[in-house]
Amino acid sequence: MNPVAEVLSTVFGVVLVGAIAYEISQRRKRLRELYNVLDAEDKHVVADLDMMVANGQLAPYVIG
Amino acid sequence: MAEDNKTGKAPDSEGRAVRLIKPKPKTTESHDAPGLSTESQSSAGDVAHSPRFHFFLIDCGWDGPVPNLIRNNLPMITHLQNNDPLFVLTREQSDQMLRKYPHLIGKDPVLLARDLYASRTDAESEYHGFHLNLGLIKTESEALATIRTFLNFLACHRKGGNIEKHIQEQLHRDGIKGAIEVLRVGSEAMVGG
């Protein structure tokens, strides 16, 4: 096999694998943004909401 | 979304007040989470008959197809989740939350599923549930599909002890299997599947 063609094939393969990995990473990032776990960053949000329920500021939604 | 929580009325899509019926505060179905020990259940008191989730909708009132979609489908959330309570914040309450927590701006309407088992079983854990950031979705069809996936996931895993692991595997699509699924869904989208 021509050494130039071999190098080109290798480079093309590396670029292809890199592009797939990047695409997977981007889509996972989007999924994480969409379905985000409530973790340490959100614990104050959760605490506030729990307090609003406990204080009676929020009542359960009822189906009409 | 303007709503009067005190009177138990919520506006419909055209902003009119709708008379509402109170949901059952507790379900009779057993929630025997396999991941929970007997000790943790007994220490949690009434875990077996308590709701698994408290749902919250934080919605500042954006006008668009995706916000309107969630407002019109609120009954589906409680109906498909064993009547676990759903708390809809008024526009003023939502505004206050976003002012206090600006990282939520641009992501609302946010449907937040507060996992009550998380705090009852492990006070040290930083997992409190998860939220669906509907404001990041651009099209109505994608939003509807996402809400369905979200509700399906909750319904299938509501009895599970370690729901966080399932979130990573199925919703975040971690691991090799998840990577294949990401590529499969992506290629289906490209060919309009």
Q: Among B135, B187, B83, B79, which Cα is nearest to A36's?
A: B135
Q: Is residue B3 part of a domain?
A: no
Residues of B in contact with A58 (CB under 8 A): 5, 56, 87, 89, 93
Least Cα separation, residue A8 to chain B (angstroms): 25
C-beta atoms of A37 and B167 within 8 A: yes
Q: Is residue B90 part of a domain?
A: yes
Residue B97 · residue A45 · CB < 8 Å: yes
Sequence-ordered alpha helix ranges (H) in chain A: 3-34, 43-54
Q: Is residue B71 part of a domain?
A: yes
pLDDT truncated to tens, each residue of chain B (193 aa)? 444 444 444 444 444 444 444 444 444 344 344 333 433 444 444 444 578 888 999 988 888 888 888 888 888 877 787 778 889 999 999 999 999 988 888 888 998 888 887 766 555 667 788 888 888 888 888 888 888 888 888 888 777 767 777 776 666 666 666 666 666 665 555 454 4
Q: Is residue B43 part of a domain?
A: yes
Contacts (Cβ under 8 Å, ≥6 apart) of B19: A64, B9
Least Cα separation, residue B32 to chain A (angstroms): 23
Total domains, chain B = 2
Asked whether this complex has an ipTM greater than 0.90, the answer is no
Residue A29 · residue B136 · CB < 8 Å: no
Print the domain residue range for A43.
Answer: 3-54
C-beta atoms of A33 and B136 within 8 A: yes
Q: Is residue A59 part of a domain?
A: no
Residues of A in contact with B87 (CB under 8 A): 49, 52-53, 58-61
Two structure tokens written together for B15: 């902003």
pLDDT digits (tens, 9 = 90+) for B60-82: 888 888 888 888 888 887 778 77
Q: Is residue A13 part of a domain?
A: yes
Regarding whether B157 and B123 lie in a shared domain, the answer is yes
Q: How far is CA B75 from CA B37, B55, B152, in A?
A: 33, 12, 15
Residues of A in contact with B150 (CB under 8 A): 35
Contacts (Cβ under 8 Å, ≥6 apart) of B60: B91, B94, B95, B98, B108, B109
Print the domain residue range for B187.
Answer: 162-193
Least Cα separation, residue A14 to chain B (angstroms): 18
Total domains, chain A = 1
Regarding whether B131 and B104 lie in a shared domain, the answer is yes
Regarding whether B123 and B184 lie in a shared domain, the answer is no
Regarding whether B121 and B149 lie in a shared domain, the answer is yes
Regarding whether B176 and B155 lie in a shared domain, the answer is no
Chain B within 8 Å of A24 (Cβ-Cβ)?
yes
Greatest extent of chain B over all pairs of C-alpha atoms, in Å: 53
Regarding whether B186 and B142 lie in a shared domain, the answer is no
Q: Is residue A18 part of a domain?
A: yes
